[in-house]
Copies of this chain bind each other. A is one copy, B any other.
Amino acid sequence: MNLKQLSHMLSLSQTTVSRALNGYPEVNEETRRRVMDAAKRHGYRPNPSARRLATGKSGMIGYVLPTGAAVDIDPHFVEFLSGLGDYARSHELDLVLSPADADDEETTYRRIVANRQVDAVYLSSPRPADKRLALVNTLGIPFIVHGRSEGFDFDYPYLDIDNEGAFHEAARLLVQLGHKRLALINGNERETFAIHRERGMRRALAASGLTLGERHICSVTMTEENGYRAARRLLEEAEPPTAIVCSSLIMALGVVRAVRDLGLAIPGDLSLIAHDDVFPWLRPENFPVPLSTTRSSIRLAGARVAERLAARISGLEEGARGEVWPVDLVVRGSVAGAPV
């Protein structure tokens, strides 16, 4: 059933039927009702390919997926995706993932924009002065950044959490509890979120005249093994930290293992706070010692990004609105006063 047939059986022109269905004003309400009715009864659905060709709109949102033998997709991605799906589902918005060589995402961005394959894109894990962001901005496709970048002479729409504030609060709590030697096990130092977290932590320490020593900060990709190694290195120093703030639950698993291996105890010898993106399959309250966290649901962020993308596509949202979500500090058993 296509438009031609439908309009023929209604004895109307394709124009009128098309307009009736798409809510244009220049059609009699009575006629519109007739059309809508017939369309529903015959299960008419406009052919998206044809519509795309005519309008240039695809009804899909895009994401360029960096891939490569040495590239692992972050497990956070799937949670974000859940959220995105939550919103997209109810709006018949599809998501197209365009795998790209991690060393050359530009080609792919250009392709999907030139081909008008998607109406909007979102970027994640941005770095300062991220090339993708500048590119997408000049290409003129609607977009939203999940996270933030820095060092541009233009503004852009984003959704981020208050990473700096979160780690500031976490560190401040530890300092208040008497800790003097803190350490940070962070994610990739080139990503903005890691920079912000470090900044927040430094600020909290500085407020009490403390500093974060060079050797008390690790930047690694967020795996259990890297968490273990980092913790091990930190704790085997002459003057080991008495508290660690850690950028992910997965790394925290490694930290806990290292602490055990060294015969130490949490929180007796070491206080630990980690950032929790809220995975359904790994919960901080279920750590051997319930883990204190800075918590923010990445799934909710996914839903919000989808919502805003949809709004931008339909012109409801414009401009470079940045949105920063506060982060909860949830205190559990893994923190205590500094050992004497």
Interface residues of A (CB under 8 A from B): 45, 47-50, 52-53, 56, 58, 60, 65, 67-69, 71-75, 77-79, 81-82, 84-86, 88-89, 92-101, 111, 114-117, 222-225, 228, 250, 253-254, 257, 260-261, 279-283, 286, 288
A176 to chain B, nearest CB (A): 30
* A282 and B223 contact, Cβ closer than 8 Å, known pairs A73-B78, A73-B81, A115-B48: yes
Say whether B99 contacts A85, CB under 8 Å: yes
Chain B residues in 8 Å Cβ range of A82: 67, 71-73
A111 to chain B, nearest CB (A): 8
Say whether A97 contacts B99, CB under 8 Å: no
Say whether A286 contacts B95, CB under 8 Å: no
Say which residue of B71, B73, B96, B260 sits within 8 Å of A60 (CB atoms): B96
CA distance in complex: A58, B82 (Å): 25
Q: Count chain B CB atoms within 10 A of each CB in A97, A101, A223, A250 and give the residue with the most.
A: A97
Say whether B98 contacts A97, CB under 8 Å: no
Chain B residues in 8 Å Cβ range of A97: 81, 85, 94-97
Say whether A96 contacts B96, CB under 8 Å: yes
Say whether B49 contacts A115, CB under 8 Å: yes
Say whether B81 contacts A45, CB under 8 Å: no
Give me 16 A-to-B residue pairs in the complex whose CB atoms sit less than 8 angstroms apart, sorted by A's number. Answer: A47-B53, A52-B53, A67-B82, A67-B89, A72-B82, A75-B281, A81-B97, A84-B99, A85-B97, A89-B99, A89-B101, A94-B117, A96-B96, A223-B282, A223-B283, A257-B286
CA distance in complex: A84, B67 (Å): 9
Known: A68-B89, A84-B99, A260-B288. 17 other contacts (CB 8 A): A45-B111, A45-B114, A47-B115, A49-B56, A49-B115, A53-B53, A67-B86, A75-B78, A77-B78, A93-B99, A94-B117, A95-B99, A223-B282, A224-B281, A224-B286, A257-B286, A261-B288
Say whether A288 contacts B94, CB under 8 Å: no
A1 to chain B, nearest CB (A): 10
Chain B residues in 8 Å Cβ range of A85: 65, 67, 73, 97, 99
Chain B residues in 8 Å Cβ range of A58: 49
CA distance in complex: A254, B53 (Å): 52
Chain B residues in 8 Å Cβ range of A49: 49, 52-53, 56, 58, 115-116
Say whether B79 contacts A224, CB under 8 Å: no
CA distance in complex: A100, B222 (Å): 31
CA distance in complex: A68, B280 (Å): 14
* A225 and B283 contact, Cβ closer than 8 Å, known pairs A67-B85, A67-B86, A77-B78: yes
A334 to chain B, nearest CB (A): 14
CA distance in complex: A253, B288 (Å): 11
Say which residue of B67, B89, B225, B282 sits within 8 Å of A250 (CB atoms): B282
Say whether A281 contacts B222, CB under 8 Å: yes
